Each structure stands twice: as structure tokens, then as C-alpha cells.
Amino acid sequence: MTHSITEVCVSCGACEAECPVQAISQGAERYQIDPAKCTDCGACVEVCPVEAITKA
């Protein structure tokens, strides 16, 4: 199971910088996680200041 970014994302970019496999990128409205690349490490969850990242 991978992670996903919810609508509470404030597009700060902290998660993108933390992702070791570059699975996170800026989307049209907020950052998004590519489930094909996500290794479910949880590094992004730890750095999100608004707790916008959850299990998909």
C-alpha cells in the first residue's frame, strides 16, 4: 500500500525533497505521489507540516 496526499496539502514541497525515490511531484492543485514509484517508506509523512499524507 502506498501513500497519498490529501486536499489539506499546502504545497510547501517538504515531502518532495524528502522522497528517496522521487515519487512526489507538484500537481495542478497540490503535490502528488506516483504509486508506481512509491516504496511506502513513510519519509514524506514525517516531514509534512500539515499531516496531509496518508496511506492510500
Residue 5 has pLDDT above 80, yes or no: yes
Identify the pLDDT of residue 36: 95
Range 3-55: architecture per CATH: 2-Layer Sandwich (3.30)
Q: What is the distance between the alpha carbons of residues 45 and 34, in angstroms, rounded to a whole number?
A: 15
> Do residues 3 and 40 lie in contact, with contact meaning Cβ atoms separated by under 8 Å?
yes
1 confidence band (pLDDT: 50, 70, 90): confident
Write out pLDDT tens, residues 33-51.
999 999 999 999 999 999 9
Question: In terms of DSSP H, where are the helices of the chain?
Answer: 14-18, 43-47
Domain boundaries, the chain: 3-55
State percent of the chain over pLDDT 70: 100
φ/ψ of 46, rounded to 5, equals: -65, -30
